[in-house]
Each structure stands twice: as C-alpha cells, then as structure tokens.
Amino acid sequence: MNRTEIVEKIEEFSRECAKTQYTDTGDVWALFSWIKTELTTAVRFESRGCFVRVIDGALFASAMLADGTKDADECEVTAPESQEFLDEVNAEFGTSYKFEEFAGR
C-alpha cells in the first residue's frame, strides 16, 4: 500500500467513525491528522540528493545537505530532471506524474 492509499483509507475510516457517532472523535481526528501529516512528510531520495513530498497533488523538493539532512528551503517542482526521477516519485507516492506535464521542462 502506498502513501496515497493509506491516506485514503484513513479518510474513509474517519468518515465511518463520524457516521457511527463514535464518542471520542476528537482523539480519533487528532490521530488521523498526525498520521496524514507523517505520510506527507518529505521522503529522502538519496541517489538524487534531495527530499520530495506531495502536497495536494503538487510535487515539492528540497536539497539534501552534505550531512544527509533536509535543506529548509523547499520549492514546487516545475522542471523535473527526467521521467526516471518522476517514475521513482510515482512508485513512492502512488502518483502518476509525467515529464511532459510540467510547465518548466
């Protein structure tokens, strides 16, 4: 199961909790919110020297520093380096990005 499928399952489960009027929904929502945040956290692509994450369908990247940590500067990807890079991203996030769909390529 990829990240997108996990988020969809969490959202589906949360809707079911709301329908059944689960009495402790505040805690459930807080947990789901935390999990969703964790799943949208940047993923390290060490061979590419960057971290990547997807936010509302948009692809974001930040550089990997010499010590292997994530640079604080993050920007939306408008000109990916190749379809191979996007294929790696697609496999990790369950997305279907195509090189020709990016404006800055």
- Boundaries of every domain in the chain: 3-39, 43-101
Mind listing the pLDDT tens digit for each residue in 59-73? 999 999 998 888 888
Mind listing the pLDDT tens digit for each residue in 9-37? 777 877 777 777 655 666 667 777 766 66
- In Å, how far are 21, 55, 56, 57, 100 from 93, measured between CA atoms? 32, 11, 12, 10, 19
Mind listing the pLDDT tens digit for each residue in 83-93? 999 999 999 98
Contact 55, 41 (CB under 8 A): no
Six token digits for residue 1: 């199961």
> Would you place residue 100 in the very low, low, confident or very high pLDDT band (cuts 50, 70, 90)?
very high
Determine the pLDDT at residue 48: 93
Residue recorded with tokens 């000109």: 79
pTM value is 0.63
